[in-house]
Amino acid sequence: MSKIKLLPPRLANQIAAGEVVERPASVIKEMLENSLDAGASRIDIDVENGGIKTMRIRDNGHGIERGDLALALSRHATSKIYVLDDLEAVGTLGFRGEALASVSSVSRLTLTSNAEDSAQGWSAKAEGQEMVAELVPAPHQQGTTVEVRDLFFNTPARRKFLRTEKTEFNRIEEVVKRLALANFDVTFELRHNQRTIHSLRSGTSEAEKNRRVAQICGPAFMENALVVDIERHGLRLWGWVALPTFSRSQADLQHFYVNGRAIKDKLVSHAVRKAYSDVLYHGRHPAFVLYLEIDPATVDVNVHPTKHEVRFRDGRTVHGFIYSSLHHALADIRPDDQLTTASSLASAAGLSDASSAGQDLPSAIIDQQSMPLAAQAALSPDGRFNNGAESVNYASQSFAPTAFSPVTFAPTNMETPQIREAMQFYGQAAGSSSQASSSAEDTPPLGYAIAQLKGIYILAENAQGLIVVDMHAAHERVVYERMKTAFEQGSVQAQPLLVPQTLAVSEKEVACAESHVEVFQQLGFVVEIAGPESVLIRQIPVSLKNANVEQLVRDVLSDIIQYGSSDRIKQHVNELLSTMACHGSVRANRQLTMPEMNALLRDMEATERSGQCNHGRPTWMHFSLAEIDKWFMRGQ
């Protein structure tokens, strides 16, 4: 007797459902995607008991013809692709022809639709099985309503994995937000137990887009976000990225879309993380809403049933493009931009001051307060770095004085020739402007120093109000950026190893090392091929003599293989420079003269990434006169 049997369709659908229907939120995702594919401009989502009891999704899209209703519910039935070529350049969110069949196999589903401009629609029911062919007339405007009740009523194993009503609803909310961020031209209404939770009106102007992003990601995100829009090699990256000081303790405010599809992709996360690497507080996560537009023929979206992943045909180009676009956007932030970003975006989004998170305190302060305790502990009350690990690290490194002469970077002594020059110039300017200080046009963005507070902070007055600068943090960044430039410009000092190190690697890595000999050389390494599965390190940069060179070379090889380039060595050197900059910068409790303070302010304005210290903490804060007036209830 034959042991192999064809699965009954219902069981086959239930197995397939295991891949896409994990919880109520996955049903909402599939149904919303169908509504969007149908060209809806308004979608109403009604949820009861976290979606476990009922989910109703109603749209005004093009609807389903009466004759197609039965097919829509069966497996492998789709109107979106017909031949393999269509899949190669698919422009719709769905294409597998499985979602409705899967959902209907694990719930009680009613599909009602009207494809015509009339008030009469048709309704089809399925209860955990192939649809019964019976259609009943049902009143319905043009569009479609899907009602899903009693999810997993016939698959108890799945039902056990459902969490509380609140948790399940939170996930639904996330799905709606994620899709709403990619479809500004669609109105979304989300209700839970008859209460409206989100009412997102459609709109495609800049102001309306800003409003939606602020509604979804919070006004504080908007106030701290930079707008990016970069186009190169047929790729476009646009959206909003938060300033590094607006970082999060979790990676929960990260939205990335490829041609309108929300994705989570390792290559993309790596590129973004790398772009933020030098400016983010340790252990914190960047916040962003970014859209990548790319020729659909060069991305494979058919990687996973949930379609959360994609595969780029030319991953290296995409990685490089995302990294360099964001890297430059972040490096280019100057105090001037930061001061204008917040106010212009917030007003464009129609946000009043009072609606911003934190009410009377600037959001950056709030966010800093929400930093992990361990991170806060690194700051002693006097503002010094109190990080034991760091000092130990510093003491244990024997820096090659020839490579980085401390004199060049003037640790604890700010008077380099440039600074002296700037001090003379600005010292006079500050002196002369201290009385008539608010002639707005010629006041630089960070203004002029008016005092030093407790030997830690510089207080300065600019055209809009008060600037408070963390002197050590700011100087640290200025010194660090200078050291990096010097390092990049000068040739790297290298030293041969007394005993060359042999490294056992894979054949692929040997080939990679062979084709990247020059890259290694530029970085001060001499790496030779020693055998089919081994390489020999003969020479290393002096600055890395105490580092774990073997591990570094391994990591670099694996980076090059995976992403086409590696920044490990540079990162490592940067870490060392950063530590040196930290220890070489002006300490708290050092009295600065007015010209010195002004020189530092001018340096900050001219330095890349000067909004954060090397550890990603903010270097300065701004309090507008309007904010200060509010403290004293002036003009209210």
Ligand X SMILES: Nc1ncnc2c1ncn2[C@@H]1O[C@H](COP(=O)(O)OP(=O)(O)OP(=O)(O)O)[C@@H](O)[C@H]1O
Is 218 a binding residue for ligand X by CB under 6 A? The answer is no
Give the residue with the Cβ less far from ligand X, 64 or 549.
64
51, 63, 94, 584: which one binds Mg ion (CB under 5 A):
94
- In the complex, the smallest distance separating the C-beta of residue 102 from Mg ion, rounded to whole angstroms, is 10
Q: How far apart are CA 148 and CA 259, in angstroms?
A: 29
**Position among 16, 17, 28, 38 found at the interface with ligand X (CB under 6 A):** 38
**Cα torsion 77, 188, 259, 303: sign:** negative
Is 99 among the residues that bind ligand X (CB under 6 A)?
A: yes
Region 298-327 residues binding ligand X, contact defined as CB under 6 A: none
CB atoms within 10 A of CB 419: 19
Which of these segments, 76-84, 364-372, 557-565, 591-599, binds ligand X (CB under 6 A)? 76-84
Residue 511 contacts which entry, Mg ion, ligand X, none (Cβ below 5-8 A, type-dependent): none
Binding mask 32-61 for Mg ion (x = CB under 5 A): --x---------------------------
Chain position whose Cβ is nearest to Mg ion: 94
Alpha helices (H) along 45-164: 69-72, 84-88, 99-105, 156-159
Binding mask 469-508 for ligand X (x = CB under 6 A): ----------------------------------------
- Cα 430 to Cα 477: distance, rounded to the nearest angstrom: 23
The answer to whether 96 contacts ligand X (rule: CB under 6 A) is yes
Give yes or no for residue 128 binding Mg ion (CB under 5 A).
no
Pick one of 27, 28, 52, 72: the residue that binds ligand X (CB under 6 A). 72
DSSP state at residue 298: G
Phi, psi of 471 (to 5 degrees): -60, -45
∠ CA(299), CA(304), CA(305), 5° rounding?
120
Of 300, 311, 308, residue with least CA distance to 22: 308
Complex with ligand X: residue 45 or 494, whichever CB lies closer: 45
Residue with smaller CB distance to Mg ion, 81 or 549: 81
* Segment (H or E) for 562: helix 549-563
Q: Tell me if 30 contacts ligand X by CB under 6 A.
A: yes
With binding defined as CB under 5 A, does residue 247 bind Mg ion?
Answer: no
Decide: is 95 part of the binding site for ligand X (CB under 6 A).
Answer: yes
CA atoms within 13 A on the CB side of 308: 11
User: Which residue stretch of 28-36, 322-330, 463-471, 531-539 sits at the interface with ligand X (rule: CB under 6 A)?
Assistant: 28-36
Mapped onto helix, strand or coil, the DSSP state of residue 304 is: coil
How many residues contact Mg ion, by CB under 5 A? 3
Q: Which residues pair with 257 in a beta bridge?
A: 262, 291
46 binds ligand X (CB under 6 A): no
3-state secondary structure of 354: helix
Sign of CA dihedral 485, 491, 497, 502: positive
Residue (42 or 587) nearer to ligand X, CB:
42
Under 8 Å CB-to-CB from 419, ≥6 apart: which residues? 410, 596, 599, 603
The DSSP-derived string for 139-197 is E--SEEEEEEESTTTT-HHHHTT---HHHHHHHHHHHHHHHHHT-TTSEEEEEETTEEE
- The window from 31-39, 352-360, 412-420, 470-478 that contacts ligand X (CB under 6 A) reads 31-39
Of 305 and 406, CB closest to ligand X: 305
d(CA 139, CA 122): 8
H or E segment and range at residue 240: strand 235-242
> Smallest distance from the beta carbon of 520 to Mg ion, in angstroms?
49
CB of 621 to Mg ion, least distance (A): 48
DSSP character for 332?
T
CB of 513 to Mg ion, least distance (A): 47
- In 405-492, which ranges are continuous DSSP H helix? 406-409, 417-433, 471-489
Region binding Mg ion by CB under 5 A among candidate stretches 19-27, 91-99, 334-342, 559-567: 91-99
144 binds, among ligand X, Mg ion, none (CB under 5 to 8 A by kind): ligand X
The residue number whose beta carbon is nearest to ligand X equals 94
Segments of 462-598 assigned E as strands: 465-470, 494-504, 526-531, 534-541
- Residue 56 Cβ vs Mg ion, minimum distance, rounded to whole Å: 17
Single-letter code of the amino acid located at 15: I
- Binding test (CB under 6 A) with ligand X, winner from 78, 107, 452, 585: 78
Residues 582-611 that bind ligand X (CB under 6 A): none
Please report whether residue 94 would count as binding ligand X according to CB under 6 A.
Answer: yes
In one-letter notation, the amino acid at residue 367 is D
- In the region spanning residues 100 to 119, those forming contacts with ligand X, defined by CB under 6 A, are 100-101
61 is an interface residue for ligand X by CB under 6 A: yes
Shortest reach from residue 161's CB to Mg ion, in Å: 23
Looking at the Cβ atoms of 112 and 624, the one nearer to ligand X is 112
CA–CA dist 469, 620 (Å, integer): 4
Q: Which amino acid is at 63?
A: G
**Cα gap 169→190, rounded to integer Å:** 11
Tokens, residue 130? 């192939």
> Would you tell me which residues interact with Mg ion (CB under 5 A)?
34, 94, 99
> Would you tell me which residues interact with ligand X (CB under 6 A)?
30, 34-35, 38, 59, 61-64, 72, 77-80, 94-101, 144
